[in-house]
Amino acid sequence: MKTTRFAFVVATLLCAACCLSDASAQEEKWTSLFDGKTMDGWEKVGRDDSKWEVKDGALTGTGAASMLVNTKGPYKNFRYRAEVKINDGGNSGLYFRTTRKPGFTDGYEAQIDSTHTDPIRTGSIYGMCHVYKQHVKPDTWFTYDLEVRDDVWRGREVTRIKVTVDGNELYEYLDFDKTFKEGHFAFQQHDPGSVVNIRKVEVMPLAD
């Protein structure tokens, strides 16, 4: 009886250790794309009077329209997360599967907008799935978490985009057109009235 009980305890401890090991391995798959200090790995694409800089440990966009594009990649299937803050009346976007050329048209855009005159709010995939409810107040840090992967649904190829804001999963959008195949990550500086701040930018590649 004692031997059986001892064996059970050992097995339980080993199982717990394996679970902790698996959790640690999962966490190690996240790769940081921003060091919190420099613009290394990022390039501005757009107007000269648009400004991107590091302030108080965050990427900060001000001025005229531009994109701040990450030079790593391209990425296809992944989880991607970042902490974001947008000012009152501001507008920005978190782009994925995008190119490194000027303009706001290439790539999927996860909208960043709490009170801008454009009523399409944070949590939207712009032009595809729109959210009109305010989930985040302006001038407030929140976490954007996206899971993007190509899949097959009922015999049809599809790109799945799962959108989570501050731990609340809003929806999973199915893009049967598979509009954008792969690409880089980027942030949008929308207009001179917008100020966007980004920190803790991380990606976890997923298997194809």
Per residue of the chain (208 residues), what is the pLDDT tens digit?
Answer: 444 444 443 344 444 444 444 544 455 599 999 999 999 999 999 888 999 999 999 999 999 999 999 999 999 999 999 999 999 999 999 999 998 877 666 899 999 999 999 999 999 999 999 999 999 999 999 999 999 999 999 999 999 999 999 999 999 999 999 999 999 999 999 999 999 999 999 999 999 8
Token pair recorded at residue 205: 């590649």
Q: Quick check: bond before 74 cis, omega within 30?
A: yes
**Together in a domain, 46 and 24:** no
pTM > 0.95: no
**Together in a domain, 49 and 137:** yes
**Together in a domain, 70 and 160:** yes
Total domains in the chain come to 2
**Together in a domain, 12 and 70:** no
Contacts of 36 by beta carbon, 8 Å cutoff, 6+ apart: 54, 57, 58, 199, 200
Q: CB neighbours (10 Å) of residue 124?
A: 24
Give me the domain span that covers residue 57: 34-205
Length of the chain: 208
**Together in a domain, 76 and 122:** yes
**Together in a domain, 127 and 92:** yes
**Together in a domain, 120 and 192:** yes
**Together in a domain, 6 and 65:** no
CA pair distance 50, 124, nearest whole angstrom: 25
| pLDDT single digits (tens) 132-164 | 999 999 999 999 999 999 999 999 999 999 999
